[in-house]
Structure 1
């Protein structure tokens, strides 16, 4: 009897300690609901890494269609492709949303050169989007190097008849290369407008990259309010060429630079956003958008910018269907048109959403390349921001440590509102500007596993947003 009592006491103490230990684990670890979410997220990652379709979609888009500059025949092929793959995934409905887009064409391959100390040097160059052409023979003029728009303005009428060379490089001490890009892209966008006002003959700009290489980077520029008679040609030269030219100018300040380009702007052209959706099971009138932009610049294949974003967005819907996840709210996938030189697709989508009185409660955009996932930037009110940041313990096992306030993306930002939660997918940025807007932005530069990890990351945060965001934190209209 005494032995039995001791055994019962031991058993009671063991069970009691075990229960206390479980409570401690639950307190420090995940709640029962979070465990369900953790399992679901693991399933999404497993599916993406073993049954993904994104890489082959990207191969098809980039290698069979290629660069997709707004208004081009390639963009129409991409629209048809987008509609086809959305239907293959089995979305509840798929449609095209008409939009008129700018139609700028590059024309013949650009050329540039100059002679220094009797040596002729050819320069890798490309016209900037919306630039005017040079005369047929090109332009030839002395060069003035500047590092900022303010420095150019200070030259005033000294610019007349000269080519102004903007040579401000990335700040390579910034870990986030998008911040470095933002710190110098104004010279590309506004340089010609500033210099044209004072009678400059042309503008050349150091390419927007943290690398030193021989690949010129195109991108949009604007003449602002400048009268057309003051428009001047604008082009980018490679970063290595910029370094060499800068050194040569120190030795020979009067050297003359020659460049020729034949680009032009045609009348606006008809195009489309491609839209597909999975209807919500509980509140279908509430819409989450996930998307990327279907257009690209024409020099490469538009792989990282933004083919990866397009295929990852569609794979969010594919992974939901593959794992029988039925969203409470409507999940809408959008391939936006004309992000690169006008954002007409984004503006049209937001305009029609307002006209049709659609209730968008959130959005996710992928337009930062297809490299290793790092997290998300959040554009939301303080309550929703804190909610998303509380999911870090669910997302961090997959390398998603960054959940910071910030912008979401050019295509979903027109949907911004007090009770709209917008999120930007943020992969590692260190290699992105090696390829951005260049002939190097091709399919072979995208790593299959990194792409799939991105798809799973996006699907995971959409799963959490759909489950918690509206019911817990948002004010119903």
Structure 2
């Protein structure tokens, strides 16, 4: 009996070693191919420099749909198709202009940009006194008497002591999104919001905002001011609380228009009805060219399919690359994809999103059961040669979250985030700020995780 047990242990150990060796070889193939024969950087170059910013409903967004579908078609996938979705169409108009006036005729220009979804100022612009607050919670304390007829200046900065810059962003983004809605309740005539940026510079950062149930006639214009502009305005207010602030913006909201999610698919060889998704959002803000947010995630997701296919791996499960439309100002693409999946009773078991920039990958965060997280931790040794070390519970991604159910695994690629908010939603989110090798390492890391979950399945 003792010999039999030893023999079985020996066989089990041999199988384990073989599986580990096979996985090591497959990951090496993926990384080697990504670093020597990548398409992601070229795809991003075209999206960024030939098409540019891809705001939902724009001509550029449609050009991006056409281009990425064509590239997916060229990969020899089992299926490539467009999924229609109605999206909002907001147009910025002519460039914004702002200054503050310390005395008649003595003014200082400051860089601003309209927040996405904002109404325009009156035709001649808007000029009023300014009141500085540190957040929405300050409004009730001040009340109508101190706010009515003024421009509210939200100046709570991102917390520099938080190592997770996304946590820092979350800590102050409410003033951007709901600042105008809340200030209007106290009679404010406009809103200026400090840009979500840890660096002091002259780039204002846009982003989505909402008015809730505020009637259209009572909506007030909202703009972001650069961090240097915010510091200057705040310092000047301390010296002279009676300064006047002027800004002019010409944005407009139009009726919804049709756009598309772009989807490429490799059919599963053993479990074709089990679907795994990898994706990013194809739309971007209009100030830069959307290279980090989220052109990088789109081309990485496309390259996952190419890398798996070119290394000769035949997936057991159906793997889809989904390029979602309208994450930035509506999440219509993610919601539509989940709605269609539900209506078709599709069985999604895994989804991975890349929407944190094309910087050096550090690992992944997971929204999943403890059993699946344990399985991920068993793969840590496979990723160590590639300096991928972060495997933790956390946020996955906005576009894949509508797919969530109790059984599936949601994951988010986590690149180094220290420079991300320097570029996020700003004019300097451009192609030259993406490093080719870092982008490729991200695609390889994503493809490796998809391979492992496809091979071993989801723990239920």
Equivalent pair of 1:153/1:195 in contact (CA under 8 Å):
no
1-structure distance, mates of 2:223, 2:321:
35
TM-score with structure 1 length normalisation?
A: 0.92
8 Å contact kept, 1:197–1:230: no
For structure 2, list consecutive stretches of 5 or more residues without a partner in the other structure: 1-9
* Larger gyration radius, structure 1 or structure 2: 1
Structural RMSD (CA) = 1.2
SS of the residue aligned with 1:375?
A: strand
Where 2:74 maps in the other structure, the secondary structure is: helix
Q: How far does the alpha carbon of each residue in 1:245-292 deviate from its partner, in whole angstroms, 9 at most, with x for none?
A: 000000000000000001010000100000110000000011000000
79, 83, 98: which is aligned to 2:65? 79
Q: Is 2:178 the partner of 1:176?
A: no
Q: Which residue of 1 aligns with 2:3?
A: none
CA displacement at 1:381 relative to structure 2: 1.4
Shift of 1:209: 0.7
Note if 1:343 corresponds to 2:331: yes
Alignment correspondent of 2:96: 110
Match for 2:52 among 54, 59, 66? Answer: 66
Match of 1:150 in 2: 137
State the partner residue of 1:137.
Answer: 124
Deviation at 1:401, TM superposition (A): 0.7
Q: For structure 1, which segment, 115-124 or 150-159, has the greater mean C-alpha deviation from structure 2 after superposition? A: 115-124
Give CA-to-partner distance per residue, 1:134-172, whole Å, 9 cap, x none. 001111000000001111222221211000000000111
2:398 to 406, 410, 424: 410
1:32 to partner: Cα distance? 2.7
Residue 100 of structure 1 corresponds to 86
Residue 245 in structure 1 maps to residue 224 in structure 2: no
Q: Which residue of 2 aligns with 1:434?
A: 422
Say which of 3, 6, 24 aligns to 1:38. Answer: 24
Unmatched tracts of structure 1, length 5 or more: 1-22
Aligned to 1:18: none
Query: Is residue 227 of structure 1 aligned with residue 215 of structure 2?
Result: yes
| Residue matched to 2:5 | none
Alignment partner of 1:467: what SS? helix
Once residues 257 and 39 of structure 1 are traced to their aligned partners in structure 2, the CA distance between those partners, rounded to angstroms, is 62
Give CA deviations for 1:87-135 in whole Å, capped at 9, x if unaligned: 1111111010000000000011000001236742111000001100000
- After TM superposition, give the deviation of residue 392 of structure 1 in Å: 1.1
Aligned partner of residue 214 in structure 2, secondary structure: coil
- Deviations for 1:372-425, whole angstroms, at most 9, x for unmatched residues? 010000011121121112211111221111101011100001110111101000
Shift of 1:224: 1.1
Answer yes or no: is the 8 Å Cα contact 1:275–1:334 preserved in 2. Answer: yes
**By how many angstroms is 1:38 displaced?**
1.2
Provide the rounded CA distance (Å) in 2 between the counterparts of 1:32 and 1:366: 31
Task: Tell me the TM-score normalized by structure 2.
Answer: 0.95
Give the conservation status (yes or no) of the 8 Å contact 1:153–1:194: no
Question: Which of residues 273, 288, 296 is equivalent to 1:300?
Answer: 288
